[in-house]
Structure formats: structure tokens, C-alpha cells
């Protein structure tokens, strides 16, 4: 039969191939929209000294903490300069704050990145070296120790009458600049009751995750507790293996209808579920432009008189008469809304005012969040 209808067979085959090759519409992995409760980073902070700067460090006369830290460091190394403290004038050292994110399940000896920021009046940390700096957690324990050469990625040049700076030379990073010295005692496999926390809380998304997990895993272990939490009962199972399967499941997250407006920058972000009821929009402002063009009147050389300045004023009034009243029909989608407003020649600033007016009229079926 297919031989008698080769064109039909070809079309059906092409449609089947396109359907198979097309990815699931708006589906994402569970691992991209939810986190496992308890599996998170922790913040570390420390105070240290950077040496080796090319005269761009702290001024010891004004940065007292840098001077005291320098004296303490030298004393620990067997150098006593306490009696000479007022004579210290080096500008090659700077006090810094060192921060890092301590990842979950970090083991002894593993390396993590650190960020270094000037604490005093140092102008440039380029070329400096961070000395041994303990990094503490919120509980006061030392979890890592940082040290190494700094990288700022900034350029700073100064002459007698001008200076050029690109980037922030007082902030730097050290790749793999800290060594983990203490582990966080958390064993994932020992917790059969696992909670998945949604990054964007939503009841519909939570229920879809629950359904996807119960379809993939025997025994229906998942249950949505609230818009943010889905709990899994993995008793008697390999917790790590089951979570590896769960995080690869794909669901279609739901999204609330919301319009976010940043008035400072004129940025407007709208979700795909935003709908507009039937509304008429007219936009336009009265603009008056006054231009002064003074002219010099020069008398005839033999007629006498004096040179005077004659004012010439040009007044232009623009009432935007070419702007029309546009009608946006009911149940508009995001694409229709943007196309309609763009057709009226409306810029971002005016669009913000229009969206506020549409919301006030009750025609904007979405939350309007103004920042």
C-alpha cells in the first residue's frame, strides 16, 4: 500500500522523525528546579594579610589593624619589631577579608576557591600573595586554610594628570586557594526520609514532581507536603541510587503570571502566563519645545546707528496627534501584548506606566511587582 502512495509515506515518515527529535516542551530535570534538603554550601570567612604589593598596599599610619597584624605575624616568625612599630612605613602589605563557599561533602585535602577583598586603603592587590589564613564557619571552627597568589583581572595605571582603571583591583580570587581541613559530618545515605525543596515554590509543580517520581519508582514514595517541599520515603532502598534516578526525571514546571518592573533601569520582564482582558490604550504627551536663536543686527556703514542683538524665538508644540487609540482584545498572550504595545510605538518607560494603568483598570490578569 505504501508503494502506491509514496508521497504519503514520505510525509508520515518525516512527521514521525520530527516528533521523535523534538524535545519535550518546556520540560526540565528535577535537579534543575529542586534541591535536596541538607545538601548545601556553607559560608567561610577569614582575616589575612597580602604581601608582595608594588607600593599599593595599606598606609600603616592610617590602617592601624594592618600595622598590628604585621607586628604579630613577624613576632610569630621570631622577628621582634614591637619597639620599632612607629617606624614601620612599608606599603607592600594589605589587610584583607577572605571568603569562600564550603561545598557539601567536601573531604579532607580537597581544594576550594577563595575570594579576597581589601579591608584598608590599599589601591591595588595585583601581584600580591595571601599568607596562611584560617577560614572559619558560623560555628567558629576552622574548616579550611587559604594561601596563594592573587588574580584580580584588573588594570590600573596612573600618571601625573590622569589615571585609568579597568575592573576592581581591590578584589581578587585564588583558584583552588584553600585546602579543606575539617569535614562536615553529614551522611546522605543514612537519611531515608529525603525532602526535595523547590527553588520556585508552586503547588502545581510540586504535584507534577510527585507524580513523576511515583511513576518512576515502585511503591509511590513521593508526597507533596506544600508548594515548596516534596518528601520521599526511601526506607530500605539505596538512597543515593534512588536520588540519582529522581534528579534525572523531567517535569514541566508551572509558573505564576507575574510582571516584574524595574523602574530604575526601565526593565520589564513578563511571564508566559500573563493575560490581558480587552482594553483600549492611548498614549501620548504634550511636548513644547522653545528654541532661542539670537541674531545680530548690523547697521549700514553710512547710516549711523549701533549694533544690537535681536532675539528670535521658535516655539513648536507636539500634541502627538498621530498617536491612535489602540484596542488590545481579550485573553491576550504575552506575545500579543508585546506586539500590540510595540505597534503603538511605546518605549519601555511609557510601557511601565501603561502596565500600571492596565493593572489599576483590572485588565491585567497577573501580579505586578515593581522594584
Spatial distance between the Cα atoms of 251 and 29, rounded to a whole number of angstroms: 6
Q: Do 209 and 200 meet the contact criterion of CB atoms below 8 Å apart?
A: no
Q: Which residue has the higher pLDDT, 330 or 72?
A: 72
pLDDT (mean) for 295-301: 68
pLDDT (mean) for 188-215: 92
Can you read off the three cell numbers belonging to residue 245?
534516578
pLDDT (mean) for 77-87: 79
9 pLDDT above the threshold of 70: no
State the pLDDT confidence band at 5, using cuts at 50, 70 and 90. Answer: very low
Can you read off the three cell numbers belonging to residue 273?
502566563
Give percent of the chain with pLDDT exceeding 70. 76
Mean of the per-residue pLDDT values for the chain? 81
Residue-level pLDDT at 81? 81
Q: Which of 80-94, 148-162, 235-249, 269-283 has the highest mean pLDDT?
A: 235-249
State the pLDDT confidence band at 8, using cuts at 50, 70 and 90. Answer: very low
State the pLDDT confidence band at 350, using cuts at 50, 70 and 90. Answer: confident
Q: Do 212 and 250 meet the contact criterion of CB atoms below 8 Å apart?
A: yes
223 pLDDT above the threshold of 90: yes
Q: Which residue has the higher pLDDT, 90 or 251?
A: 251
CA distances for 172 relative to 48, 146, 159, angstroms: 13, 13, 24
Spatial distance between the Cα atoms of 37 and 248, rounded to a whole number of angstroms: 17
Q: Do 131 and 51 meet the contact criterion of CB atoms below 8 Å apart?
A: yes
Spatial distance between the Cα atoms of 112 and 101, rounded to a whole number of angstroms: 8
**Could you give the angle at the alpha carbon of 168 between the alpha carbons of 162 and 172, nearest 5°?**
135
State the pLDDT confidence band at 24, using cuts at 50, 70 and 90. Answer: very low
312 pLDDT above the threshold of 50: yes
Residue with cell 508585546: 338
pLDDT (mean) for 134-155: 92
pLDDT (mean) for 312-336: 59
Residue-level pLDDT at 291? 63
DSSP state of 82: G
Residue-level pLDDT at 344? 64
Helices (H) and strands (E) counted in the chain, each on its own, are 6, 25
Q: Which residue has the higher pLDDT, 124 or 88?
A: 124
Q: Which residues of 165-184 are buried (b: 16+ CB within 10 A; e: fewer)?
A: eeeebbbbebeebbebeeee
Residue-level pLDDT at 303? 60
161 pLDDT above the threshold of 50: yes
Cβ partners under 8 Å of residue 136, min gap 6: 44, 45, 46, 142, 143
Which region among 21-30, 39-48, 144-153 has the lowest average model confidence (pLDDT)? 21-30
Which region among 59-68, 132-141, 286-295 has the lowest average model confidence (pLDDT)? 286-295
Which region among 58-67, 152-161, 333-342, 346-355 has the lowest average model confidence (pLDDT)? 333-342
State the pLDDT confidence band at 158, using cuts at 50, 70 and 90. Answer: confident
* End-to-end Cα spacing for the chain: 64
Coil vs helix vs strand at 329: coil
Coil vs helix vs strand at 343: helix
Q: Which residue has the higher pLDDT, 182 or 299?
A: 182
Amino acid at each position: 500500500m505504501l508503494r502506491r502512495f509514496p508521497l504519503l509515506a514520505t510525509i508520515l515518515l518525516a512527521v514521525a522523525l520530527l516528533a521523535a527529535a523534538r524535545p519535550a516542551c518546556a520540560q526540565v530535570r528535577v535537579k534543575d528546579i529542586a534541591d535536596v534538603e541538607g545538601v548545601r554550601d556553607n559560608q567561610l570567612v577569614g582575616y589575612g594579610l597580602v604581601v608582595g604589593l608594588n607600593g599599593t598596599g595599606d598606609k600603616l599610619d592610617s590602617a592601624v589593624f594592618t600595622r598590628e597584624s604585621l607586628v604579630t605575624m613577624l613576632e610569630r616568625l621570631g622577628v621582634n619589631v614591637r619597639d620599632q612599630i612607629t617606624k614601620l612605613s612599608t606599603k607592600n602589605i594589605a589587610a584583607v577579608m577572605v571568603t569562600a563557599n564550603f561545598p557539601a561533602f567536601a573531604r579532607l585535602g580537597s581544594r576550594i576557591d577563595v575570594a579576597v577583598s581589601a579591608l584598608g586603603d590599599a589601591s591595588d592587590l595585583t601581584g600580591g600573595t595571601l599568607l596562611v589564613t584560617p577560614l572559619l564557619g558560623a560555628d567558629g571552627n576552622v574548616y579550611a586554610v587559604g594561601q596563594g597568589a592573587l588574580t584580580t583581572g584588573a588594570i590600573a595605571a596612573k600618571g601625573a594628570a590622569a589615571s585609568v582603571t579597568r575592573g576592581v583591583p581591590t578584589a581578587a580570587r585564588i583558584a583552588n586557594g584553600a585546602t579543606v581541613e575539617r569535614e562536615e559530618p553529614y551522611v546522605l545515605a543514612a537519611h531515608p526520609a529525603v525532602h526535595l525543596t523547590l527553588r520556585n515554590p508552586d503547588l502545581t509543580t510540586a504535584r507534577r514532581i510527585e507524580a513523576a517520581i511515583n511513576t518512576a519508582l515502585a511503591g509511590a514514595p513521593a508526597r507533596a507536603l506544600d508548594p515548596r517541599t516534596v518528601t520521599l520515603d526511601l526506607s530500605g532502598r539505596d538512597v543515593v541510587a534512588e536520588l540519582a534516578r529522581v534528579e534525572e526525571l523531567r517535569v514541566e514546571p508551572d509558573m505564576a503570571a507575574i510582571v516584574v518592573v524595574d523602574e530604575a533601569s526601565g526593565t520589564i520582564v513578563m511571564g508566559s502566563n500573563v493575560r490581558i482582558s480587552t482594553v483600549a490604550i492611548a498614549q501620548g504627551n504634550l511636548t513644547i519645545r522653545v528654541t532661542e536663536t539670537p541674531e545680530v543686527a548690523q547697521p549700514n556703514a553710512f547710516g549711523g546707528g549701533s549694533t544690537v542683538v535681536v532675539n528670535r524665538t521658535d516655539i513648536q508644540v507636539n500634541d502627538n496627534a498621530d498617536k491612535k487609540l489602540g484596542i488590545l482584545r481579550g485573553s491576550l498572550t504575552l506575545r500579543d501584548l508585546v506586539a500590540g504595545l510595540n505597534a503603538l510605538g511605546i518605549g519601555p518607560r511609557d510601557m511601565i506606566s501603561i502596565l500600571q494603568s492596565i493593572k489599576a483598570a483590572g485588565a491585567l490578569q497577573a501580579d505586578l511587582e515593581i522594584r
